[in-house]
Amino acid sequence: MIFKSLYQSKFIYRQFHTSSPRHIHPLIWVFLKPALKGVAWITGRSTRKWYQQLPPEKRSVFAEHLNRHKYKYIGIFGTIGTACAIHYYTHLEASPITGRRRFMMMNAEHLTLMSDMEKEKIAKMFSDQMFPEHSKQTQLVARVARRIIGANMDLDNIRNIKWTARVVDVDIKNAFVLPTGDIYVTRGLLETLINEDQLAIILAHELSHALLGHSAERLSYLQLIDMFGMSIFGAYIIWSIFPRDWISFVVNYIFENFITFTSRLPYSRLLEEEADEVGLMLAAKACFDVREAVALWRVVHEAEMNAALPEFISTHPASAKRAETLNEKLPWALDIRRQCHCSPLPENKPPVSKLNISNNPNEKAMEILAKPIVSVHNIPVINVNKKE
């Protein structure tokens, strides 16, 4: 997963398609997934009921039929498996920045459509709770975001996105970035941070999710797992072979949770770890104090010690593990800062208890992003990682 080692070894991933991959509209999957589940359950249960009602001599005839035509059925299932494999391999692509190979069923147009729907939903939900554009909270987020984006304009994805920043006046501690470039931060989160460096670490992490297309990748992976793991084959087999409905229901429930704990959640944690690493790079190129990443997650770990979920049932890595992993990457991130000619970091930072939210009434949030940025640290990732 670590893109540093991938680029050090200069692995270049390329994809080959005999034709353009067919991307299915995301709304189709919304209705197709539960429909396929229902079909699998009903078909599996009907198969079991039909077989249970067969007299012994009919069961023998059925067994002889399967044995006589076994190669035909093997060919049919082999053809289906080959078609699924072709579908999978023709939808593999290289992830931006990291070069990691991934399965992608959604294209940019579909992702933009879903992002616009999410943006409309947020606008309706928090229409009366958005800070004004000239508020000190919005200007703070925009100022930090401008600095991160401006220092990473050598990345194509950043240049191709129109960025905006909004602050939601709620107590919840959260921040996220839509793939369309809409940055949302809550007041509750701002009130818990002690400096702009910590805000930069969080924003860089969320920006990384958008730049890497993790939303589309996560949806694509979940559809892959559901289609070929649970919704069709798993559910059909379970409802076919177990003799009672309640047994099938319980086993299907256990199987679904098994898929979640062994596939869905680990993949989600992998994406979070990747965003942590790429975010550390973005913040380092913007000359923020990347040491705050470790301090931030250690504080989070201490705050949630009595309430944190075990990592294996969480979509995110444990805070203590994140702090440890980021601490291991600090020498690499600090080397990026030096290559970007950033000012040396002080050995001991003065204690700060609250994030300083200044207000400049003449500053427009994110306005500078539409202007040419002259002080861009144009350092390709492949060259940043020459030294450990």
pLDDT in tens, 171-192: 999 999 998 889 999 999 999 9
* pLDDT tens digits along 66-93: 899 999 999 998 998 898 889 889 989 9
Q: How many contiguous H segments (helices) and E segments (strands) does the chain have?
A: 16, 5
Mean pLDDT, the chain, whole residue set: 81
Q: Which of 353, 287, 352, 361 is nearest to 139 (CA)?
A: 361
Band (232; pLDDT cuts 50, 70, 90)? confident
Band (105; pLDDT cuts 50, 70, 90)? confident
Give the whole-angstrom CA distance, residue 203 versus residue 209. 10
Q: Is the pTM here over 0.75, yes or no?
A: yes
Residue 160 host element (H or E): none
**For range 17-34, the mean pLDDT:** 55
Q: Which two tokens stand for residue 249?
A: 């229901």
**What does DSSP say about strands 182-186 and 164-168: parallel, antiparallel, or unpaired?**
parallel
Q: Which of 290, 296, 375 is nearest to 334 (CA)?
A: 290
**For range 348-361, the mean pLDDT:** 60
Q: What is the predicted pLDDT for the residue at 37?
A: 78
User: Residue written as tokens 């429909």?
Assistant: 35
Q: Which of 166, 144, 174, 155 is nearest to 212 (CA)?
A: 155
Q: Which two tokens stand for residue 153?
A: 């304009």
Query: In whole angstroms, how large is the CA radius of gyration of the chain?
Result: 25
- Does position 341 have pLDDT exceeding 60, yes or no? yes
Residue type present at position 77: F
What positions carry a catalytic annotation? 206
Q: Which residues contact 371 (CB under 8 A, 6 or more apart)?
A: none
**What does DSSP say about strands 164-168 and 175-177: parallel, antiparallel, or unpaired?**
unpaired
165 beta partners:
183
- Does position 335 have pLDDT exceeding 70, yes or no? yes
Beta strands in the chain (DSSP E): 92-94, 101-103, 164-168, 175-177, 182-186
User: Distances from the Cα of 12 to the Cαs of 96, 101, 271, in angstroms?
Assistant: 12, 10, 20
- Does position 351 have pLDDT exceeding 80, yes or no? no
Q: Which two tokens stand for residue 122?
A: 């947020």
Q: Which of 279, 291, 382 is nearest to 339 (CA)?
A: 382
Q: What is the predicted pLDDT for the residue at 229?
A: 56
* pLDDT tens digits along 240-295: 989 888 998 899 888 888 888 988 899 999 999 999 999 999 999 999 999 999 99
